[in-house]
Structure 1
Amino acid sequence: MNTIDLNGRTAVVTGGAGGIGRAIADRLLASGCRVAVWDLNVTAGEREGLVFQQVDVIDEVAVTGAAARAEEVLGGIDILVNNAGITGPTELLERYDYAAWRRTVAVNLDSVFLCSRAVIAGMRARAYGRIVNIASVAGKEANPTMAAYSAAKAGVIGLTKALGRELAETGILVNCVTPGLIGTELLKQMSPEAVAASRSKIPVNRVGEPREVAAMVAWLCSSDCSFTTGAAFDISGGRASY
């Protein structure tokens, strides 16, 4: 594992109890960062340097309160990784339930808005910050029968670009990564047909690993990433190399 120096930094990782989020939290922790995990699932338990906060990331009041607590516990938030997400149903749009649509968009996109808004003031005051959003290759190319997820992740890419430009002169850099098919529990929310269709589009002919996404995110969270903002970094095994 390459060394990324995050000593003295503090981070919040949403949806960090499992999957890609947990791999990111572990990688940041191994790099010397203190990490608060915001998740509805706090049964993973705490360990040194890793603090779990039960947070509904689509609840505005809960997010604002969690940010205030994290600022107090961590002594400021230098890094935010917006990772929380759900795939939602795999269904034709004409049959898509509106409540499921709204929840899928809220968890994947609204949470990025709410959590980013909650930490920007503190980052701006310290003239330093890194916000990394976990989008998806589906936000670039879209997946059939996953319209809500695809639309929300496209929105995350657009939000990243807009916020990156807004904050470009503040010392706060905003970027996103666009994973393809990654081997996590989230795959179980997809139909076997959707998984097979996604895998067939990967030139390297395998599913990605959470640690590979975490490695890219760790660099984007570091001070070594100093001249890049508003960008989308592909990690899809060659499916979408742009």
Structure 2
Amino acid sequence: MTTIGNGSGTREFAGKRALVTGGSRGIGAAIVRQLLDAGAEVLTTARSATSTVPEGAAFVQADVRTRAGAEAIAATAREVLGGVDVLVHNAGGAQPYKGASDIPDEVWQEALDLNFLASVRLDSLLVPAMRERRQGMIVHVSSAAVPTASPQFLHYVAAKAALESYSRGMALELAPFGVRVNTVSPGKTATPGGEETRELWARVAPGENDAAAPSPTGSTTPLGRDGQPDDIANAVLFLASDRASWLTGSNLFVDGGEFPRG
């Protein structure tokens, strides 16, 4: 898979300090690898100790769902990197339920903590320094499924919808300070976590995940294949780069044309 901006040997993130949450596998790991290849210093996070963090990245074990976890991540970023120029909120996820009425209160709260409030808390700790320096790039990873509001994942898509509104508002607030805020919304992507979730969805709600007719390759996307982690990482790095210097408050769908939007 070709990575963004490096085919000509450029290192467009040289001298940049990047923090990527949830970077031990899948999309997060692809973002970390591409940032490293483009010359950035990278710190990444996961809830559990892991040996799958891309080589060359620093790592902190912390739970982004809690204020204490956000504080530990921010403190490590200041200690290891000396600050953050590029902040990528990638950590997220949820398990499907048979329907919206089957989702317990505590699961709603967990979905909000992981998919929305984690970004709010970490931003509150790291954005003030970006404002003071009058530079910084923030990318929130949402989901292309938000417009469909699937009942089986309503806790997840509702939290991501909140994240998208928050991202647009932060973009407006921070624009005068030279800090850009954008969103990337992935569609069906071939990752270990994604495959586990789709298998569970097929068990709890048979047929609900098969609305689109598969292509000859077996994919339900109009482009005929599922996304790869590097497809999403390409979009993240573009939005975080100087090539997107006049983009803020945007939401880039990277879904092979699978999901409708207005």
After TM superposition, the score normalised by the length of structure 2 is 0.86
Question: Which residue of structure 1 aligns with residue 246 of structure 2?
Answer: 227
Rg larger in 1 or in 2? 2
Q: Kindly tell me: are residues 194 and 126 of structure 1, through their superposed partners in 2, closer, same or farther at Cα, counting changes over 3 Å?
A: farther
Task: Using the TM superposition, give the Cα deviation of residue 46 of structure 1 relative to its aligned residue in structure 2, in angstroms.
Answer: 5.8
Question: Which residue of structure 2 aligns with residue 204 of structure 1?
Answer: 223
After superposition, residues 3-152 of structure 1 pair within 5 angstroms as 3=6, 5-44=12-51, 49-152=56-159
- Cα distance in 1 for partners of 2:132, 2:125 equals 13
Task: Using the TM superposition, give the Cα deviation of residue 165 of structure 1 relative to its aligned residue in structure 2, in angstroms.
Answer: 0.4
Task: Using the TM superposition, give the Cα deviation of residue 122 of structure 1 relative to its aligned residue in structure 2, in angstroms.
Answer: 1.5
Contact 2:25 2:53 in 1 (8 A): no
Task: Give every structure 1 segment of 4 or more consecutive aligned residues whose post-TM-superposition deviation is greater than 3 Å.
Answer: 45-49, 193-201
After TM superposition, the score normalised by the length of structure 1 is 0.93
5+ unaligned residues in a row in structure 1: which ranges?
A: none
Question: Which residue of structure 1 aligns with residue 217 of structure 2?
Answer: none
Task: Using the TM superposition, give the Cα deviation of residue 225 of structure 1 relative to its aligned residue in structure 2, in angstroms.
Answer: 1.6
Contact 1:33 1:49 in 2 (8 A): no
Question: Share of identical aligned residues, percent?
Answer: 32
- Cα distance in 2 for partners of 1:155, 1:166 equals 17
Structure 1 stretch displaced more, 62-71 or 152-161: 62-71
5+ unaligned residues in a row in structure 2: which ranges?
A: 215-219
CA deviation profile, 1:186-213 (whole Å, cap 9, x unmatched) = 2212313454347856222321111000
Question: Which residue of structure 1 aligns with residue 197 of structure 2?
Answer: 189
Contact 1:77 1:119 in 2 (8 A): yes
- Aligned pairs, number: 242
CA deviation profile, 1:88-143 (whole Å, cap 9, x unmatched) = 23320122222112112211111111111121011112211000000001223322
